Amino acid sequence: MSAQPAVRIRVLGMDDAELWDRTVRRFRDVVTDPAPFLADPSTVPMVATDPADGLAGWAWGLRQRHAAGHTQIQLYEIEVAATWRRHGVGRALLTEFLALARREGHRRLWLFTDEDNHAAIGLYESLGGLPSPHRDAGYWWQLDPAT
């Protein structure tokens, strides 16, 4: 593993349309208007940038109200650029996602992964993620231990 400069994790807002547009183009190769996504209060857009403001990774999710009344966040997508893999970028993104969910008072953070994505599963479990009891390749974090 070669030493690379640290990345900066940023939760994006309305003033970050250019950066979000660049991020979506880089990781999904699509052109879209970022304004509606960034304006939606349910979305959680996050990027990892290197010191030169290059894109090392991204994650995004959705805040949700559960039928039982509590709130939770689904981490919908997390990806690290190939040159930044195995340098802690995925861990940094997930750690910040968990911290944001706790700060906002959500009961749970959850995601789905592929059953054969062993690197991701290792990361999720190392940060306290538990396999879903529904056998659906999901992982979840119970953020409020009192419930």
Q: Any idea which of 58-62, 73-77, 86-90, 142-146 has the lowest mean pLDDT?
A: 142-146
Q: Answer yes or no: is pLDDT of 1 > 50.
A: no
Residues 65-81 pLDDT 10s: 999 999 999 999 999 99
Q: Answer yes or no: is pLDDT of 123 > 50.
A: yes
How far apart are the C-alpha atoms of 78 and 8, rounded to whole Å? 15
Residues 82-104 pLDDT 10s: 999 999 999 999 999 999 999 99
How far apart are the C-alpha atoms of 45 and 20, rounded to whole Å? 8
Q: What's the confidence (pLDDT) of residue 147?
A: 52
How far apart are the C-alpha atoms of 36 and 42, rounded to whole Å? 11
Q: What's the confidence (pLDDT) of residue 145?
A: 57
Phi, psi of 136 (to 5 degrees): -120, 25
Query: In terms of pTM, does the model score above 0.85?
Result: yes
Q: Answer yes or no: is pLDDT of 30 > 60.
A: yes
Residues 109-119 pLDDT 10s: 999 998 888 99
- The pairs formed by 34-43 with CB atoms below 8 angstroms and a separation of 24 or more are 38/12, 38/13, 38/14, 39/14
Tokens of 95: 């750690």
